[in-house]
Amino acid sequence: MNYRRLGRSGLKVSELSFGSWVTFGTQFGVSEAVGLMKTAYDHGINFFDNAEGYANGDSEEIMGKALKKLGWPRDSFIVSSKVFFGSKKNPLPTQKGLSRKHVQEACDQALERLRLDHLDLYFCHRPDPDTPIEETVRAMNTLVGQGKILYWGTSEWSAEQITEAFRISERLGLVGPTMEQPQYNLLCRERFEVEYAPVFSEFGIGSTTWSPLATGILTGKYNDGIPKDSRLELPGYEWLRERVLSEDGRAKIAKTRKLAKIAEKIGVSLPCMAIAWCLKNPNVSTVILGASKKSQLKENIKALDAVPLLDEKIMQEIDINLVSCIVNKLK
Ligand code: NDP
């Protein structure tokens, strides 16, 4: 495993990390979480991603119990939570968003569920149009001062909003965001590569990128229908299923078929190639993996060996194939 600096901070994060969305609390409980987290940690993964909204808080409960069972030294791993969406269990207007009140209370609740006394990373899960950015910047800095969080960041904020957060922090002498958590994969790259380019160069923000396999599409598992044991069959994930079955989803599957041929040519699995492709981008600090089975996680970690196979020629071939799909669609 290699370790990258999280932006300009001194924190070293493993270039592959592990997230609990969909899986913890919806697909399985503590014993499976322990098995997956142990597999990850034993391969050098040091960052585990979570959020208040994942399985309505159950995901944090499960990770907290798993961490207790695993008994790792606290200084050997990094844990995150995210605030904004709240949880269906707590649907009141004060129980979501990025107000000072919810940011503070959601952090306390996440710490309780995770059985930790501080979060390493704390993200604003989305921008909140109803809260001034200054209020959130100040609230995050209060948490830093209280020792409840070490670094704060954003997730899916626009480059303009991230820039505003930096400007406010500079003006007030406060700590700005250290990292952003955006989607980044072969099928979703424009925001990361184009919109965020000035944010990376000017502020040196780090990135913890999500859905490297486009929520499973880039494994090729949806090429010929939806497997019964996949997340698209889960109650509550009908929206994701519809998205994959939509015209846009079908176009992504067509691209996936073309990409599979390149993976075959270089002798790696498609998920490995897709994850390795993310790692080729130096603005990526860590790629957050998702897996519902140990076999998937072990397979995906092999992406580390695929990185050197993605030379300039293969990277160009990938780009050409992605573009040719768009051209064919326009015809
Ligand atoms: P991926 O796009 O990598 O999808 C992971 C899923 O794909 C697995 O759970 C599994 O689903 C399937 N899969 C993975 N590997 C394989 C394989 N080798 N063969 C076959 N199927 C495979 O990542 P996620 O969408 O799970 O996102 C990763 C993490 O990113 C999340 O856990 C979360 O921490 C974070 N995230 C953050 C968001 C944000 O807004 N900040 C949004 C979304 C995610 P199945 O059970 O169907 O087999």
Distance CA 7, CA 184 (A): 16
Q: Report the pLDDT value the prediction gives residue 328, as an integer from 0 to 100.
A: 62
Q: Report the pLDDT value the prediction gives residue 331, as an integer from 0 to 100.
A: 60
- List, for residues 178-225, the tens digit of each pLDDT value: 999 999 999 999 999 999 999 999 999 999 999 999 999 999 999 999
In terms of pLDDT, which residue wins out, 327 or 170?
A: 170
Decide: 115 and 142 in contact? Cβ < 8 Å: no
Q: Report the pLDDT value the prediction gives residue 321, as an integer from 0 to 100.
A: 86
Segment 121-147 mean pLDDT: 98
The pLDDT of residue 329 is above 70: no
Q: Give the number of residues written for the chain.
A: 331
- List, for residues 239-263, the tens digit of each pLDDT value: 999 999 999 999 999 999 999 999 9
Q: How far is the CA of 3 from the centre of ligand 1 (A)?
A: 21
Q: Report the pLDDT value the prediction gives residue 322, as an integer from 0 to 100.
A: 85
- List, for residues 38-86, the tens digit of each pLDDT value: 999 999 999 999 999 999 999 999 999 999 999 999 999 999 999 999 9
- Secondary structure (3-state) at 10: coil
Q: Report the pLDDT value the prediction gives residue 268, as an integer from 0 to 100.
A: 98
Pocket of ligand 1 (CB under 6 A): 19-23, 49, 155-156, 181, 210-216, 219, 221, 230-231, 271, 288-292, 296, 299-300
Specify the pTM: 0.97
Segment 13-36 mean pLDDT: 97
Pocket-testing residue among 121, 189, 219, 226, ligand 1, by greatest number of atoms within 8 A of Cβ? 219
Segment 9-34 mean pLDDT: 97
DSSP 36-64: HHHHHHHTT--EEE--TTGGGGHHHHHHH
Decide: 207 and 195 in contact? Cβ < 8 Å: no
Q: How far is the CA of 66 from the centre of ligand 1 (A)?
A: 19
All structural domains of the chain:
3-219+270-309 (3.20.20.100)
- Which residues have C-beta within 8 Å of that of residue 113, sequence separation ≥ 6? 57, 60, 61, 64
Q: Report the pLDDT value the prediction gives residue 291, as an integer from 0 to 100.
A: 98
Distance CA 328, CA 68 (A): 52
* Longest Cα–Cα distance in the chain: 58
Which residue has the CA at smallest separation from atom 34 of ligand 1?
19
The pLDDT of residue 330 is above 60: no
Look up 41 and say whether it is catalytic: no
| Ligand 1 atom closest to Cα of residue 218 | 2
Cβ neighbours around 115 below 10 Å, total: 14
Q: How far is the CA of 166 from the centre of ligand 1 (A)?
A: 30
The pLDDT of residue 3 is above 80: yes
Given the residues 41, 54, 184, 196, select the one marked as catalytic. 54
* Helix H or strand E encompassing 200: helix 197-203
Comparing CA positions, the residue from 208, 7, 33 lying closest to residue 123 is 208
| Single-letter amino acid, residue 254 | A
- List, for residues 88-123, the tens digit of each pLDDT value: 998 999 999 999 999 999 999 999 999 999 999 999
| CB crowding 69-86: b at 16 or more within 10 Å, else e | eeeeeeeebbbbbbbbbb
Q: Report the pLDDT value the prediction gives residue 327, as an integer from 0 to 100.
A: 61
- List, for residues 271-325, the tens digit of each pLDDT value: 999 999 999 999 999 999 999 999 999 999 999 999 999 999 999 999 998 886 6
Pocket-testing residue among 13, 179, 292, ligand 1, by greatest number of atoms within 8 A of Cβ? 292
